[in-house]
Structure 1
Amino acid sequence: MDLVATANARSNIDRDLNDVQADAEQSEELFNEGSLILGAATREEMREARLPLAYRDSCANLLIPLNKCRRETWYAPWKCSDERHSYEKCQYDEFKKRVAKMDELREAKGGERSN
Structure 2
Amino acid sequence: MNSDRRSSSGPISVRGPMHSVAMCPICQAGLCGIRICTGDDPLVPAPRGGFLLCDECEAIWMSPDVTTAHHYPSSESPECPICHGDLWGNSVWADNQQIQSLGWSQAVNPDLDQTATGS
Instruction: Please classify the TM superposition score into its range, dividing by the shorter chain length.
Output: under 0.3
- Structure number with bigger Rg: 1
Structure number with higher relative contact order (C-alpha < 8 Å, ≥ 6 residues apart): 2
Larger proportion of helix = 1
| TM-score, normalised relative to structure 2 | 0.22
Larger proportion of strand = 2
